[in-house]
Amino acid sequence: MAFKHLVFLLLAAGLALFAGPASLRAEPLQIVGFGDSLMAGFGLDAGQSFPEKLEAALRADGHDVVIANAGVSGDTSSGGLSRLDWSIPDGTDLVLLELGANDMLRGISPEITEKNLDAMLARLSERNIRVLLIGMRAAPNLGPDYASAFDAIYPRLAREHGVALYPFFLDGVAADKALLLEDGMHPNEAGIERMVERAKPAVEKLIATEPDNS
Statement: residue 214 has pLDDT above 70: no
**Domain region containing 100:** 27-213
Query: pLDDT tens across 186-203, in order?
Result: 999 999 999 999 999 999
Q: Is 85 a catalytic residue?
A: no
Is the CB of residue 107 less than 8 Å from the CB of residue 51? Answer: no
Residue type, 64: D
Give the total number of structural domains in the chain: 1
Catalytic residue among 37, 49, 63, 103: 37
Assign 70 to helix, strand or coil.
strand
The mean pLDDT of 43-64, rounded to a whole number, is 97
Catalytic residue among 36, 77, 103, 186: 186
Catalytic residue among 23, 90, 183, 214: 183
Does residue 55 form part of some domain?
yes
Number of H-type helices and E-type strands within the chain: 9, 5
CATH code assigned at 75? 3.40.50.1110
Does residue 18 form part of some domain?
no
CB under 8 Å to 136, separation ≥6 — which residues?
98, 100, 101, 104, 150, 154, 168, 169, 170
Strand-pairing partners, residue 165, are 133
Q: Is 161 a catalytic residue?
A: no
Please state which of the ranges 8-22, 62-76, 124-138 shows the lowest mean pLDDT. Answer: 8-22
The mean pLDDT of 134-152, rounded to a whole number, is 97
